[in-house]
Amino acid sequence: MKRTRNILAVAVFLLVVLIGVPWLIEATGRLDLYYTLTSVALLSIASAGVWVTFYIGRINIGQGAFALMGGYVSAILVVQYGVSFWLTLPLAGLFCAAASVLIGLPILRLRGVYFAMVTLVLTEVARLLALALPITNGAKGMVSIPLPGGISIFGLTILPDFATLANPRPAFYLVSVVLMVLCFAGLYRLVHSRIGKLCQSLQQNEELASSIGVNIAYLRVIAYAISSFLGGLGGAMFVAISQSIYPSSFTVTDSVNFMLNCFLGGLSYVFGPMIGTFVLYFGWDFLFETGEFQLLIFSSVLIALMLFLPNGLLSLRLFGKKQG
């Protein structure tokens, strides 16, 4: 029965985001919403990576570094070496995952508060590297990045050449939403797997988990690699949409927002980052009319939500049970 409800909920969600939302946008003429919702989808993917590190009991304030790295890897491969953008997506994610393993092996042995402090500087380190390395073109950034080409299998067009589309934004929206759905479906499966249960044990009591034979260091590195892979994936997609990337494309503020998305949605819920990203993104824009009081009101609302809903918006139990 529960399985049937879950399948039905996923089917309804897919119908809404893949058919209902595009129809509504076209009907209202608000074509700008394609870019807005695409951004929300990609930000939620990067935030989902941060959620994975929370799941093992670690605070990650450096996801912006991996989004920036993933974006540059994709841009360099496309511009310098002519690699298909669609191939650069997994390559950017894998590069970030490999980098996170090298970074994580020493710092993941630290206690949680020290790990958080180290990750806080990662985004700034990545920005300085982007400024210094010749291949990234320094402060000038990389611009005029070609739009993604098409994908055909046995003569059947799977994805069109985005450069031939009058308006590629609907196509970017559909691709980004599909990636988001695959990302959260993968996280849901991970959480309910044996490895997911072991990761949860780290969050509850690392000493106890270690005493029963759980390889804590191994699980930490795996979780951090998954987290960074998702950050790189989101960053690479952003580059394709904006057709440019600069050292300031992802900053420390973005890293903090990725973390806030998880808090706002709910750390105990797989879909918390998705809900949190949506609310944080549109909430900030909604308060734009308040002018100079925007930041004050926004901060006050966030503090109030964390005080009265410490487990996020999904703790209202309007959306299902924990880890669902």
Q: What is the pLDDT of residue 236?
A: 96
Q: Residue 220: is its pLDDT beyond 80?
A: yes
Decide if pLDDT at 214 tops 80: no
Model confidence at 124: pLDDT above 80: yes
> What is 60-105 written as a DSSP string?
---HHHHHHHHHHHHHHHHHHH---HHHHHHHHHHHHHHHHHHHHH
Whole-angstrom Cα distance, residue 58 to residue 86?
31
Residue type, 26: E
What would the mean pLDDT of 141-146 be, rounded to a whole number?
93
Q: Which one has a higher pLDDT value, 45 or 152? A: 45
For residue 1, what pLDDT band results from cuts at 50, 70 and 90? low
Q: What mean pLDDT is reported for the chain?
A: 88
Give the pLDDT confidence score for residue 245 in this predicted structure.
96
Confidence band for 317, pLDDT divided at 50, 70 and 90: low
Identify the residue with better confidence: 100 or 57: 100
**Own/partner pairs for 111-120, CB < 8 Å, 24+ apart?**
112/57, 112/58, 112/59, 113/59, 115/58, 115/59, 116/58, 116/59, 116/60, 116/61, 118/62, 119/59, 119/60, 119/61, 119/62, 119/255, 120/61, 120/62, 120/252, 120/255
Pair 220, 198: CB distance under 8 Å: no
268-277 pLDDT, tens per residue?
899 999 999 9
Please name the residues in contact with 55: beta carbons below 8 A apart, sequence gap of 6 or more. 191, 196, 199, 200, 203, 223, 267
**What is the per-residue pLDDT for 321?**
46
**pLDDT tens digit string along 156-172?**
888 889 999 989 999 99
pLDDT tens for each residue of 82-102: 999 999 999 999 999 999 999
In 3-state terms the chain splits into helix, strand, coil percentages (rounded to 5) of: 75, 5, 20
**Does residue 123 register a pLDDT over 90?**
yes
The residue type of 125 is V
Cα distance between residue 16 and residue 302, in whole Å: 28
**pTM of the predicted structure, to 2 decimals:** 0.91
